[in-house]
Amino acid sequence: MHFTEQLNVPVSVPEAWDFIWQVKRVAACLPGCVGVDEVVPQKSYLAHFQDHVGPYKVAFDLDVEIKDVQLEKSITLHASGKDPKMGISQRVDLAVSLREAGPQNTILDVEADVEVLGKVATLGQFVVKRKAAEIVKQFTQNIGAELKPQVAGGQRA
């Protein structure tokens, strides 16, 4: 399944790039992610997930490997993991490109290829695709909220 989202954030490209490397902040934006461990800085991570897909409660770890980095332009990663209890495996290839839309404005183009196999796939491609699309969309919305400028008193604008 292939998904694309575009997000316009009110920060400069260097600020958006800095945010991408704040792994715990980015992980907090990903629905279902309950934690992340850095294995090799800026190379590999172990992300922990808990979520529901239809009637199934899933818990799994994803091995995340940074595949390609172009400074302040793009990052590509591959993630894969398995829920051993449910026999569900998944693979995610994610690419995020950054481009300037103004001095304090960056466009993030997010592309994700997601594959889910196992018991949850018996729910049908429609249910699995809807859940995956919902996660990608919520992830980009959460990043947008996280990067909104601060106003006095620590509140987001």
Q: Which domains does the chain have, with CATH numbers?
A: 2-148 (3.30.530.20)
Q: What is the DSSP letter of 126?
A: H
Distance separating the N- and C-terminal Cα atoms of the chain: 34
Residues above pLDDT 90, as percent of the chain: 41
- Alpha helices by DSSP H, listed for the chain, are 13-20, 23-29, 125-146
Dist. CA 107–CA 102, nearest whole Å? 9
Q: Does the pLDDT at position 149 exceed 70?
A: no
Q: Is the pTM of this model over 0.75?
A: yes
- Give the residue-averaged pLDDT of 65-78: 96
CB–CB of 143/9 below 8 Å?
yes
Stated as kind and residue range, the H or E segment containing 116 is strand 105-117
